[in-house]
Amino acid sequence: MNLLHIKLMKKSSWIAALLLWAAPSARAQSVIAGSAIDEPTMFYLAFGLVVVVAILVLVVAIYVLQLLKIFVSQNQTEEQKEEEEQVPSMFSKLWMSWNDLKPMEKEEEIMLDHNYDGIKELDNHLPPWWKGLFYATIIYAVGYILIFHVFKTSPLQEEKYELEIAAAEALKTSREADLVIDFDENSVTETTDAQELADGKQFFEAQCAVCHKSDGGGLAGPNLTDPYWKHGGSMSDVYKVIKNGVANTAMISWESQLNPVRMRNVASYVMTLQGTNPPGALGPDGDLYEPESEARENEE
């Protein structure tokens, strides 16, 4: 019987040790995950999870041990108890020293002399593990003050916020310099870049050819290769029609489906179709567009 209990005791401390070992290894994994994704949020989430798991493990371990203790003491005969007390296990010694507990039979020594309806009070010390944590917070606080307020090696919250905003601002301007995000539809110019024109052509053939024919000769939509236009033949006019569409016609607004760069690419491609005179093209529709009249039109 006694042997069985000791075995159980040992087993339980094995389980506790295993669980405690699992916690740091889980943290190591989360650190790896955090660096792979390179997201501070991910890291904090993972870290939080690890802390929660570690606390749970601790609670479970303590609970299991407590249960075992009760279980063991209930089944022990007086004789066995004495025997057991003579050889306290490694773990129970550790437990006693971490908690600075007075053995049950010596509790009289620390019993305070007041007695409230049978409730007595022991003058126990604070558990050493608790004191250890407390001293650790003091050391941490000193380190914190030195780092953040004395040597100022790390920015405070507000500074950090401003630094991040400034970094984001810098990134934004650098990106804006790389990429024109939007075009003024009144002054947008054609692109001559072969790649961009190819991009425009590809999109035209995929989406616009249904109505304008892949060569631009016109089907349900008007011929885009002749100088006759219903809405003007300048780059700006074509861009506007693509962007805004023509109300109450099959020509929809493409703004929601195309980003400005794409719209400019497609419009530029349409402009290259001028004068290609493909076979089977539809006849003139709209007014003859003369580039000279552009200035006058814009003034209106």
Binding region for ligand HEC (CB under 6 A)? 204, 207-208, 210-212, 220-222, 224, 229-231, 238, 241-242, 246, 249-251, 254, 266, 270, 285-286
Calpha distance 45→31 (Å, rounded): 11
Report CA torsion sign: 170, 176, 182, 188: positive
- By beta-carbon proximity to ligand HEC, the closer residue of 68 and 281 is 281
Calpha distance 106→271 (Å, rounded): 100
- By beta-carbon proximity to ligand HEC, the closer residue of 46 and 270 is 270
- By beta-carbon proximity to ligand HEC, the closer residue of 46 and 271 is 271
Beta strands in the chain (DSSP E): 111-116, 119-122, 228-229, 287-288
Residue 160, classified by CB atoms within 10 Å of its CB into exposed (0-12), middle (13-18) or buried (19+), is exposed
Q: How far is the CB of 248 from ligand HEC (least distance, A)?
A: 8
Q: How far is the CB of 299 from ligand HEC (least distance, A)?
A: 20
Q: How far is the CB of 181 from ligand HEC (least distance, A)?
A: 20
- By beta-carbon proximity to ligand HEC, the closer residue of 17 and 250 is 250
Task: Describe the chain by its helix, strand, coil percentages, rounded to 5.
Answer: 65, 5, 30
Calpha distance 190→265 (Å, rounded): 8
Calpha distance 101→95 (Å, rounded): 8
- The answer to whether 290 and 237 have CB atoms below 8 angstroms apart is no
Q: Which two tokens stand for residue 216?
A: 């631009």
Q: How far is the CB of 257 from ligand HEC (least distance, A)?
A: 8
- By beta-carbon proximity to ligand HEC, the closer residue of 35 and 249 is 249
Find residue 287's DSSP bridge partners: 229
- By beta-carbon proximity to ligand HEC, the closer residue of 69 and 262 is 262
Q: How far is the CB of 297 from ligand HEC (least distance, A)?
A: 13
Amino acid at position 107, single letter: E
- By beta-carbon proximity to ligand HEC, the closer residue of 45 and 261 is 261
Q: How far is the CB of 180 from ligand HEC (least distance, A)?
A: 19
Q: How far is the CB of 199 from ligand HEC (least distance, A)?
A: 12
Number of H helices, E strands in the chain: 11, 4
| Rg (alpha carbons) of the chain, rounded to whole number | 40
